Structure 1
Amino acid sequence: MAVSRADLLTWLNELLQINYTKIEQCGTGGAYCQILDSIYGDIPMVRVKMNAKHEYEYIANFKVMQTAFKTKKIDKPIPVEKLVKCKMQDNLEFLQWMKRFWDSNYGGQGYDAVARRRGAPTDTPATMAPLATGRSGSSSTLSVGGRAGGKTPVGGHRAGSAQPNEAVHNLQAQLREMGTHLEGLEKERDFYFSKLRDIEILAQQQIETLEADGKDDETLREIQKILYSTEEGFEVPEGGATVDEEETF
């Protein structure tokens, strides 16, 4: 028999010492990883970001989980692409499966969830909520504008006049969430650019060594060609130009 949402949340919060209020919050992957850790006690929780705020962080958490499934020979596909969208139904079904798996495999040993994650913050739920609220706030803003004809009453305090202020707060919360998301994307961009830069330096050093010996390597040349190729409108990030500082078109 499927466990209800309320019972699942109660079990999850008690087991992991967190304060989730929605099943959707499991889509960050952190809770799933720690459920596994409560069973086996050897999941690398230091690599799990319990307060993940961006989809690429969710995916990183699920990679930890996929590795654990493979190591433990758990024959269960993990629908990562669906779960990271933080939709209720997908995460409800997967959490129900996790609960059944836990019931069958948990040995009853004591589990200190906070110590296992080294006291890492778990404030993801609080940072996810405003975006969903903002979407509903946007809809209410449109409907309010439609009723009032886009005009503000000159005088009098009508019932429901607080709605525009609430809508503004919702939009401001959504804007803050978008700003945080953008910051995360920029960090991800810089992370991968740094990796490409290391590859570029390594390839260049190897080519120079070969040239000094009168040799060449076609594969390294092809790697360089890929690294230096550009598209129309592409701008090299500040400080990232390595071969030619002139502007290209």
Structure 2
Amino acid sequence: MAALSRTDLLTWVNELLQLNYTRVEQCGTGGAYCQIFDSIYGDIPMTRVKMNAKHEYEFVANFKVLQNVFKAKKIDKPVPIEKLVKCKMQDNLEFLQWIKRFWDSNYGGQGYDAVGRRRGAPTDTPATIAPLTGPRSASGLGAAGRSGGKTPISGHRAGSTQPNEAMQNLQTQLRDMSTHMEGLEKERDFYFAKLRDIEILVQQQVEALERSGQQDEALKEIQRILYSTEDGFEVPDSTAQPEDEETF
């Protein structure tokens, strides 16, 4: 059977899941993949799937759900998470084509309430997720398509719109970089919170062992790793005053 085109696949995904995806790359968030398998089996934990994921660490969490599904259903197919979460067209197109073939072979024809299964969770995944690339950012289409750039003010000479387009492109890149930075900050906070939970748990276990006159070398080694520093990096002193705070 011939592989479906991007347009055909998007039409199928949107009709099955009641979405409004415009690019195959949007499947790189992992949410649609998870719900396609839910349409087959009906028991995927959709409450753990973030359909409007916007950051890579959220995409990875969705794909972890998908990996668990593959393991539970004994589906012998590697999930190339590292590639798919980059939201590149070719990688996601190939994976989606495989999923469509799997769905055709395993879907029982039962009705599927996509909105109900995700409990009305928002699905406003951005139309363009892939990281910035030079050619894309430099094109006028990139600025107009993503930022709704304003039409140059009329009355200028024909050639005078070029600087305006360049400015719009720079503004678009700045907005995309700000969004990317926000994502990195959230990802940092996400993993820092996990490390903090590990630190507290280890500390509690160490103190409990010390009270009973025992110790655990593995826990001590974990603490050593947690508290180790590198040249040029110092652990912030939480008791110190901010540098920009003046006292009188």
Rounded to whole Å, the distance in 2 between the matches of 1:121 and 1:7 is: 24
Q: Which residue of 2 aligns with 1:27?
A: 28
How far does the alpha carbon of each residue in 1:38-88 deviate from its partner, in whole angstroms, 9 at most, with x for none?
A: 111111111111111122211111111111011111111222222122121
Count of matched residue pairs: 225
Hey, what does 1:144 align to over in structure 2? none
- What is the CA RMSD across the aligned residues, in angstroms? 2.5
Q: Do the aligned partners of 2:10 and 2:21 also contact (CA within 8 Å) in 1?
A: yes
Q: Residue 54 of structure 2 corresponds to which residue in structure 1?
A: 53
TM-score normalised by structure 1 residue count: 0.79
SS in 1 for 2:79: coil
Q: Could you tell me how far apart the structure 2 residues matched to 1:231 and 1:132 are?
A: 31
**Structure 1 residue runs without a partner (length 5+):** 141-155
Structure 2 spans left out of the alignment, 5+ residues? 141-154, 241-248
Q: Deviation above 4 Å: which 4+ runs of structure 1?
A: 131-135
What is the deviation of 1:160?
Answer: 4.8
Alignment partner, residue 157 of structure 1: 156
Matches within 5 A, 1:116-131: 116-126=117-127, 128=129
SS at match of 2:51: coil
Cα distance between partner residues in 1 of 2:34 and 2:107: 14
Contact 1:134 1:173 in 2 (8 A): no
Q: Could you tell which deviates more after superposition, 86-95 or 191-200?
A: 191-200
Asked if structure 1 preserves the Cα contact closer than 8 Å seen for 2:23 and 2:127, the reply is: no
Q: How does 1:20-169 map to 2 (within 5 A)?
A: 20-126=21-127, 128=129, 136-138=136-138, 157-169=156-168
TM-score with structure 2 setting the length: 0.80
Q: Percent identity?
A: 78
Separation in structure 2 between the aligned mates of residue 226 and residue 236 of structure 1, nearest angstrom:
13
Partner of 1:171 in structure 2? 170
AA matched with 2:64 = K
The change in CA–CA distance for 1:134 and 1:49 in structure 2 (over 3 A counts) is farther
1:189 is aligned to 2:188: yes
Inter-partner Cα distance in structure 2 for 1:121 and 1:174? 26
Does the Cα contact within 8 Å between 1:48 and 1:61 map onto a contact in 2?
yes
